[in-house]
A and B are shown apart, each in its own frame.
Chain A
Amino acid sequence: MAVKVVQRPQLTFWEKLYIPQVLCGLRITFRHFFRNLFLHIAHRFGRRTGERAGVTYQYPEELRPLFSRLRTRHRLMVRENGAPRCVGCMLCETVCPAKCITIVPDEHPDPDVEKFPVRFDINLGVCVYCGYCVEVCPEDAIRMDTGILDIAATSRDAMKLDIHELMNPQLRKPVASCELDFPHQCEVHGGEVRGSWTQPAAVAHEPRMKPSKLRTSDLDSRSSA
């Protein structure tokens, strides 16, 4: 049987005295203490704000910078006329490993578009944030770049996002009123299909979706569209 002799570190005379070693330790803690104390005071007067005095973030008030590739809550991209960019191809629903996406497509009046989603639901309580739906989408219609991390709810139903919240990430449950004018299965109105393609509002619309919750200043080029 092989015997491995473990060499225990031998303390030198000065290390055995404890006191010099204690002073070395104290030097480190004092250095941190006074550096941070100085920086905290300087921050009070608005100086040296570039240097952080603590590595912690004061979470609800102060948010950590997010990496631009971070996958956060989903959103559906919106066309200029206010309709979703999604063409109802079902690729994301198919690829989703958690099976959290539900799409009900319908025929689009424009023959170039073919289809659009009457219903587009994502159950965030089931979603695993793998990002496959974003990867697979041929139309760049779904993205996970809202920067929304605080996804929490008191019921399972509240975790289920429908097309209203996906097209406008600033909406929070309960959604008060429906502003969508294309035909969709409207949860606000008890699940009946509302809207039509012929309404005048559907023609020229300000893009409703403004990713104002984004915290990263340098999102990658894909999201600048």
Chain B
Amino acid sequence: MIEALLIKLVVASVVFGGVLNLAGLHTWVERKQSALIQDRIGANRAPIFGFKLLGLFHGIADAIKMFTKEDVIPRGVDRTLHTLAPFFSVFFALVAFAAIPFGPQLHLGERVIDLQVARIDAALLYIFAMLSLGVYGVILAGFASRNNYAIMGGMRATAQMISYEIALGIALIGVLMVYGTMDLSAAVEAQGRTIAGGWIPLWGVVAQPVGFVVFLVAALAETKRLPFDLPEGESEIIGYFVEYSGMKFGMFFLTDFLETILVACLATTLFFGGWQIPFLQADGFHFPWGTEIPVANWLYVLLGVTSFTVKVLAFCFVFMQIRWTLPRFRYDQLMDLGWKGLFPIAVVNVLVTAGVMILLGGQG
């Protein structure tokens, strides 16, 4: 019993340690990647003992700054809610990671370990619930700040997130129909199948290309980053965290990165085979031209975790690239895209998927 608890503790600390560090690293990636895109050099100072490491220590310097800055609470705000809002934001973004499977089952002697903090039957619903609850952090921040700009920003954020959550959810119904499960581990295992004589792995993006595009756009909107950064719009329209400073602001900042990583994890898990590697089964590689390479369980797990990490990082990279490519939408364009663009496409996608599945006789 105590062993099982310890193992879960280790898995949980690996997931949250990895995710939080990745979020911290995002600040560096954001600076450097935007610098490369815009023909600049980017942050390259902040040396520690003379080592600059391409400016990698700027994140640490930022964290120290955030923690030591004065935490301004404006007069007349609801102190409880004002303090609670950033914690809500970060908390719900973090706990959603519990349901993400980041590797296949590890066999340690007699024991079988799920590389997933919590194997939940309705993992997808759980993640959606957490994403939706994340709205509370945003709207509480807006309402508790006693600032009209903050309320407007909070309203914009809420409207945007709720609108796009609908498109997001319906885009994923197609995937659910194909895999026939809400358990993300089972969904990843289902993506180990192949089609076309074993040449093409049946990843979600192959089965649901339209669903993937809709999911990607809606998910970008969920992260509240450019081109969907209307909730913040720090340079002119001013968002929900105007009245926050110090680490409370830092937590909102962190939430954005956490949500980006979460969305990257979701896209990987549902559409890019999670920890699957093409042609790699639990006992080894089975190439369609007949070659077979046996693989031990520990190596299989290692390859799986590596594959998952690489895919997530690639998605983070692409999201960052999109963030530095596109300008912000206008609010009416945002709503048009969500309700008149993505929503109908997602619904039609579900219908078409259902029709195809009936034609294929219930086989995904």
Contacts and interface: CB of A to CB of B under 8 A. Distances in A.
Interface of A: 18-19, 22, 25-26, 28-30, 32-33, 36-37, 40, 53-56, 58
Contact of B36 (A19, A26, A36): A36
Given A29-B37, A32-B37, A56-B41, A22 B213 contact: no
Given A19-B213, A54-B35, A29 B325 contact: yes
Contacts of A18: 337, 341
Nearest to A26: B325
Nearest to B333: A18
A34 to B, nearest CB: 8
B40 interface: yes
Contact of A26 (B39, B40, B321): B321
Given A22-B322, A25-B326, A32 B41 contact: no
Contacts of A40: 36
B38 interface: yes
Nearest to B44: A58
Interface in B331-357: 337, 341
Nearest to B42: A54
A106 to B, nearest CB: 51
Given A19-B213, A33-B33, A54 B40 contact: yes
B91 interface: no
B325 A55 contact: no
A37 B37 CA distance: 9
Contacts, number: 44
A33 B320 CA distance: 12
B64 to A, nearest CB: 24
B37 A58 contact: no
Contact of B41 (A25, A26, A30, A58): A58
B322 A32 contact: no
B36 A37 contact: yes
A58 B35 CA distance: 13
17 contacts: A18-B337, A18-B341, A22-B322, A25-B325, A25-B326, A26-B321, A26-B325, A29-B321, A29-B324, A32-B36, A36-B36, A37-B36, A53-B41, A54-B39, A54-B40, A56-B39, A56-B41
A53 B322 CA distance: 21
Nearest to A58: B41
Given A26-B321, A54-B41, A58-B41, A33 B36 contact: yes
Interface in B56-92: none
B39 A55 contact: yes
Contact of B321 (A19, A33, A53): A33
Contacts of B326: 22, 25
Given A28-B325, A29-B321, A29-B324, 9 more contacts: A22-B325, A32-B36, A32-B39, A33-B321, A36-B36, A53-B41, A54-B35, A56-B39, A58-B41
A143 to B, nearest CB: 34
Contacts of B40: 54-56
Nearest to B33: A33
A58 B213 CA distance: 41
Interface residues on B, range: 10 to 19
Interface string B296-331: 000000000000000000000000011011100000
A28 B325 CA distance: 8
Contacts of A36: 36-37, 39
Contacts of B39: 32, 36, 53-56
A207 to B, nearest CB: 40
Contacts of A32: 36-39
A122 to B, nearest CB: 35
A19 B321 CA distance: 15
Contacts of A56: 39-41
A26 B323 CA distance: 10
Contacts of B38: 32
**Residue of A22, A28, A33, A53 with most chain B CB atoms under a 10 A cut-off:** A33
Contacts of A30: 321
Interface in B126-144: none
B120 to A, nearest CB: 33
A81 to B, nearest CB: 48
Contacts of B322: 22, 26
B38 to A, nearest CB: 7
Contacts of A22: 322, 325-326
A28 B36 CA distance: 12
A198 to B, nearest CB: 55
**Residue of B41, B213, B321, B322 with most chain A CB atoms under a 10 A cut-off:** B41
A22 B324 CA distance: 11
Nearest to B41: A54
A208 to B, nearest CB: 37
Contacts of B33: 33
Interface in B14-53: 33, 35-41, 44
A29 B226 CA distance: 15
A25 B322 CA distance: 9
A29 B325 CA distance: 6
Task: List 8 A-B pairs, minimum CB-CB distance, nearest first.
Answer: A36-B36, A25-B325, A54-B41, A29-B325, A29-B37, A55-B39, A33-B36, A32-B37
A99 B322 CA distance: 56
A29 B337 CA distance: 23
B306 to A, nearest CB: 22
